Amino acid sequence: MIPPRQAITATQETSMTSPRTMAGADARAAARIAAPRWALVAVALGAILSSAHAASLPGSPDPLVPTGRWSANSDGSAPVPPMGWNSWNAFNSDVDEEKVLASAQALVDTKLATLGYRYVNIDDGWWLKRRQPDGRMMIRTSHFPSARTGANPSFRPLTDRLHAMGLKAGIYSDIGRNSCGQIYTPDFKNQPEGSVAEREVGLYGHVDEDIRLYFAEWNFDFIKVDGCGARGLAADAPRVRSGLYRALPPLVDMQSLAASDVAGIRRLYAAVGTALRTHAGQRPYVYSLCLWGAGDVRTWGKDVGNMSRTSDDIQPSWARMLTNLDTVTHRALYAHPGSWNDPDMLFVGTGDFDAAHPVEARAHFALWAMLNAPLIIGYDLRKLTPDQLAIFGNADIVALNQDAAGNQAVLAYDSDDAQIFVKTLADGSKGVAVVNRTAQPVKAVLTAAQLKMTAQGDVRLRDLWSKTERTFRGETALTLAPHETLVFRATGTHRLAGGVYLSEQPGRVNPAVDGIARPTPDPTIHRSITPWTGTRGPGDHPQYGGWGGAEADRAPYGAPIRIAGTAFDTGIGVLANARLEVRNQGSARFTARVGVNDSAPSRAGKVVFEIWGDGRLLARSKPMAFGDAAAPIEARVAGVGIVELVARGDAEGMASPAIWADAALLR
């Protein structure tokens, strides 16, 4: 059992949280352990009272009532996943202007910039202090000499320079008063200096003035907002008790959703969004949320920011890469133009992905591209080898990531050993990744059905690494080397004449309400040995509570779609009491077959399925019970902008897996 915080002495905590080798979030694991019990109870009560599940509260609006609008975030500018470079994985907090400019120059010289790698983002380590009494943020000018612009140091010369190079500039802050390094790794380089107030460099209490400074005055284009300050400064934390920092009652607890104030942390991040809308003016900006999947960010991150971290920090290890990958795998429907899942930055170039491991490096890169992760390089580009450049610079693979349709790849085949991901591109062709997660060779079979193509026609596969082509009918056998990911672009005859399946268009489907009443962590996430705790304690427990959400081509909880004994290989599965918003781009008809999935935990309850168009009811099913054969439902949606698919359960059917099988938009 984990000892309560009171039992950990200050000395123990210091030794647990300050090994030099740990990355910023690393040592946090130790401090994640527990808040005092009274705090847990108090925050838990708050969380219950402010629960987002308004449907159950008398007098609150019914979230299943269609609104006729798209509610996921579309502010800011991220129509495709942002690409660029960030200082953290390469330099940790030891960042300076020379390193930033050298990386920027390398992006230009290698032509990676013209491929789309435009954001040059400064992470933790740039700040010196918050000046008193006016509160203006001071830059560590010893490390950023061009910021010595007189009484008010400014990043403007640096951002001007980056802009002149055709690049964009990113900055980093924290949602609390203090930074990750201050709280968890105090021996990190470049810690803020001065009095308690001067060391409060985070946004808390300064959102408007800081965002104005960073965007209106310093002209940044991108901000990553970390969450450590809202996590580690409970009143009884040794660093608070010692007078080093002010207490901030924790809003997020990595180990406990009940102990997190979900509404409270969301409000803070939303306030930053409001300030960005005000101070970025007409300039495009990107708002990157860094809450590591905690605070139930899975339900609201897509509504607040342009990209949202789904996991704790990636490490340069194969196992950790799998962990981070797994946090986005079942979440294709939660990523759209303007709001992307972020499994963290690329570690290509380092450790298990270094020059001696090209197979692993290619796999990591291809998977991030397919899953629509922001492609943010975390490598010291001054050391880039031609082979590594060929990875970041693979234009065919970058094109999968930057495809205008914005569809995250959908899991077509799943096992602990091999996976197949398929991504529908704007021109109707498919990106395909066949993944060997193991250290042994794997034999895999790829089928035309997994690509939603006819078995009778030729399917052409172009290997995006070797550029070789092959053709198959029905299915093809592939052999994968240990840790290899094969990536193809596939063309063939689509199985559905005159339309697309909805599951092929996850970028156009937003689970505004996904029916999850009690979020639970996703048990399919690979549980790696974390470098920050090793095998001490009970083991890693990924907190990303996405399990049971809406899925493409699956029922909730990853189950295959089967209604009254009939299997379907396509459709959208969601728990009852859900509302999906669908952007309609000129289709005339929506059709599906609806029912309760055979994976339902009980036979109780009924689900009614409704199709709405721009806020008007177009079709409604009869109440569907477990064991009822799938019922056809359809509606004319010509001229409709937002189609909404509502699945409403009665009291007993609330958590039933409700399936829109064969859901399709037809011309």
Q: Which residues are catalytic?
A: 226, 313
State the Cα angle at 121 between 118 and 127, rounded to 5°. Answer: 155
Of 46, 84, 181, 338, the one binding ligand GAL (CB under 6 A) is 181
Take residue 241 and report the two structure tokens written for it.
């008790």
- Give 292 or 488: the residue with its C-beta nearer to ligand GAL: 292
SS (H, E, C) 488-546: EEEECCECCCCEEEHHHCHHHEEEEEECCCCCECCCCCCCCCCCCCCCCCCCCCCCCCC
In whole angstroms, the minimum distance from the beta carbon of 448 to ligand GAL comes to: 40
Contacts of 321 (CB under 8 A, 6+ apart): 314, 347, 352, 353, 360, 364, 367
Q: Is 342 in the site for ligand GAL (CB under 6 A)?
A: no
Task: Give the nearer residue to ligand GAL in terms of CB position, either 532 or 557.
Answer: 532
Q: d(Cα 570, Cα 546) in Å, to the nearest integer?
A: 21
**Residue 201 Cβ, how far from ligand GAL at the closest point, in Å?**
12
Rounded to a whole number of angstroms, the minimum distance from the CB of residue 183 to ligand GAL is: 9
Among 226, 403, 522, 581, binds ligand GAL (CB under 6 A): 226
Strand partners, 445: 477
Quick note: the x/- pattern for ligand GAL over 297-326, rule CB under 6 A, is ----------------x-------------
Smaller CB separation from ligand GAL, 180 or 642? 180
Residue type, 238: P
- Of 25, 333, 596, 611, the residue at the interface with ligand GAL (CB under 6 A) is 25
Residue nearer to ligand GAL on the CB measure, 94 or 160: 94
Residue 88 touches ligand GAL, criterion: CB under 6 A: yes
CB of 124 to ligand GAL, least distance (A): 4
Q: How many CA atoms lie within 13 A of 148 on its CB side?
A: 6
**Least separation, in Å, of the C-beta of 27 and ligand GAL?**
10
> Nearest Cα to 178, choosing from 219, 222, 226, 136?
226
Q: Closest separation between CB of residue 181 and ligand GAL, Å?
A: 5
Q: Which residue is nearest to ligand GAL (CB)?
A: 24
Q: What is the torsional sign of CA 211, 217, 222, 225?
A: negative
Cα 143–Cα 375–Cα 171 angle in degrees, nearest 5? 30
Among residues 46 and 374, whose Cβ is nearest to ligand GAL? 374
Separation CA 574–CA 597 (nearest Å): 10
**Stretch 231-270: interaction string toward ligand GAL, x if CB under 6 A:** ----------------------------------------
* Packed helices 297-304 and 262-279: angle between N→C axes, nearest 10 degrees: 10
Under the binding rule (CB under 6 A), the answer on residue 90 touching ligand GAL is: no
Indicate the residue among 85 and 292 with the shorter CB distance to ligand GAL: 292
Q: In a 3-state reduction of DSSP, which class is residue 59?
A: coil
The 105-134 site mask, x for binding ligand GAL (CB under 6 A), equals ------------------xx----------
> Nearest distance from residue 386's CB to ligand GAL, in Å?
28
3-class DSSP state of 476 = strand
CB nearer to ligand GAL: pick between 88 and 472: 88
User: Are the C-beta atoms of 121 and 84 separated by less than 8 Å?
Assistant: yes
- The yes or no reply on residue 391 touching ligand GAL (CB under 6 A) is no
Q: What is the dihedral of CA 256, 261, 263, 269, to 10 degrees?
A: -90
Q: Report the C-alpha gap between 608 and 621 in whole angstroms.
A: 6
24 touches ligand GAL (CB under 6 A): yes
Which stretches of the chain bind ligand GAL, using CB under 6 A? 24-25, 88, 123-124, 180-181, 226, 228, 290, 292, 313
